[in-house]
Amino acid sequence: MKRSFAFMGRAMLLALLLAPSLQATSGQSPTDGGRFCLASLWHAVEVVEGAVVDGFHALQDSVEGFFGVSHHHSRPIFNYDVTIVGFVNAADGIGNHPILFKECLGDQIKMNFLSTRNIPAAVEDAQLGLPRLDMADKHNVGAVSILVDILADKALSIYKKVPKSIIKVAYTMFESTQIPRNWVPILNNEFDMAVVPDQFLVDVYKQSGVSIPVFALPLPLKLHDFLAIQPESAAHKPFVFGMTGGIWPRKNHMKVLDAFAAEYGNNKNFKLRLHGRFGDEETILALTSKINELNLTNVELIVKPYTRHEYLEFFKSLDCYVFLSMGEGFSITPREALACAKPCILTNNTAQMTICDSGAVRVVPADIVVPALFDCHGDDASIFDDFVYHHGNVENYNASYYTIDSIMNLFALNNISLTDLEITELLKTVTVGAQLDCSVESARQAMRDVYAHYDHYLKRAKYGREWVKRYLTENLSPKYVSLVKPKAVVLGAVNIISDDFLMTDSQELYDKYRYILGR
């Protein structure tokens, strides 16, 4: 809270703080010590005047520090250190986040849980095993709340469910060069800090207008089953390329198929396995049609959820993992492939650049700019609202699953005509930054290169197997503990979460951490 102290207010404050300071002064007469303390203390109050302080404690700490005096504040009483806010589904990416956070925070942190979705409590509790927050009992709200679900979209305003903790954290990510416009005021007005899984996103969020501190903290991964797989010393016969991911256009199953078909056709010495638990029906149909059209008997399209055993067996069957995604907020499956010591081919865009920069993978240039589409801009998307939400004859529309061409086709099928200006405005309102695609030719070259120099890429993958161990729960746990209860809080020039301290450039956040830690 920002406060300006008038003369009388300063005098009263000095009177409150002067006594302990005088007692700490030695080698001076009471009069001399009083003059020294009064002048110095008045200067200290003037220095901190106008600074952001959370109540009385921050100002008292600065004065005590000036005199070398320590008042040992007891830590405020919180029944829970942190409330994790999200939904639980171990088989789903974002639904797995509460489980990963719980495992990373471990026994050092007392946690409870607040669900954001209409999932039966018994189903979530069986997977997570944390006490649930009763919103009627404010004493059980954690000192820190961490939202691990999506902030908001057209249908959901999940951020409103976050309880009023002293520190509110949004663990958030996006798969583009910009975040949705309505996320910016939500973050700036409703949260104290944003935490993203990759450094690339720190810049994206800041450039999008987020003014609260943004920290990078990688997502912990369950890799032990993958690390237990015995590395291959030679390729299978036939040589098997493969990928797995939700079958959405962004994941680029079609580009992998096109590159494989162009390079190897129906050559029985090569095989392609494309997997997804589920996805966009239009994309699934297009993949199926192309496989049939080209009569590719060496391509397998698998659309079903895998068990854990089946998932591991899928990776074991591969010689090279190919992931040409146009945009990722973190990118889990390439790290899983590297944990198996499988050579990887990746596009160097968005958060995947971290993996590409490791030196463990074959990089494919991604320099084709593709508008990123997402359905959660807010009320300012007037053309989008008019033609998508307010037209009852536009059915089965979800911008995040469609390309621009398919949007236009959808409108045409529904007999909606758009002027050039309206099309321009529509694309502005449904576009959230850009994603980056690769060419078929560059993907073909990468496949050819890995096959021709397989021993070299096996060595890279074995290095990658060591590199990905940094994402194991046990190796990230100290940083996650520092997010909630750091050993030290530092006011500095950057925002960093380390094993031993949390540094922030925000005076307000710094003071809040000191308050909950009782310092």
Q: Which pLDDT score is estimated for 58?
A: 44
Q: Which pLDDT score is estimated for 394?
A: 39
Q: Domain 224-367+438-471 is of which CATH architecture?
A: 3-Layer(aba) Sandwich (3.40)
* Residue (of 115, 111, 114) closest to 80 by Cα position: 111
Q: Which pLDDT score is estimated for 90?
A: 84
- From first to last of its 519 residues, the chain has per-residue pLDDT tens of 433 333 334 333 333 333 333 333 333 333 333 333 333 333 333 333 333 334 434 444 443 333 333 344 566 789 999 999 999 998 778 999 999 999 999 999 999 999 999 999 999 999 999 999 988 888 899 999 999 999 887 556 899 999 999 999 999 999 999 998 889 999 999 999 999 999 999 999 999 999 999 999 999 999 999 999 999 999 999 999 999 999 999 999 999 999 999 999 999 999 999 999 999 899 999 999 999 999 999 999 999 999 999 999 999 999 999 999 999 999 999 999 999 999 999 999 999 999 999 999 999 999 999 888 764 433 333 334 444 443 333 344 444 434 456 556 666 666 666 665 565 556 555 678 889 999 999 999 999 999 999 999 999 999 999 999 999 999 999 999 999 999 999 999 999 999 999 999 999 999 999 999 998
Q: Which pLDDT score is estimated for 66?
A: 35
* Entry pTM: 0.78
Distance, in Å, from the CA atom of 362 to the CA atom of 380, rounded to the nearest integer, reads 42
* Residue (of 364, 418, 360, 361) closest to 387 by Cα position: 418
Q: Which two tokens stand for residue 324?
A: 């040409």
Distance, in Å, from the CA atom of 458 to the CA atom of 343, rounded to the nearest integer, reads 6
CA distances to 179, 386, 421, 422 from 425, in Å: 18, 11, 6, 5
Distance, in Å, from the CA atom of 479 to the CA atom of 41, rounded to the nearest integer, reads 37
Q: Which pLDDT score is estimated for 421?
A: 57
- Tell me the Ramachandran region of residue 433: left when phi exceeds 0, alpha when psi lies from -120 to 50, beta otherwise: left
* Residue (of 94, 101, 143) closest to 116 by Cα position: 94
Q: Which two tokens stand for residue 349?
A: 């865009």
Q: Which pLDDT score is estimated for 387?
A: 44
Backbone angles phi, psi at 265, to 5 degrees: 55, -130
Distance, in Å, from the CA atom of 498 to the CA atom of 251, rounded to the nearest integer, reads 32
Residues 6+ apart with CB under 8 A from 328: 175, 349, 350, 351, 352
Q: Domain 82-220+473-517 is of which CATH architecture?
A: 3-Layer(aba) Sandwich (3.40)
Q: Residue 324 carries which side chain, given as an amino acid letter? A: L
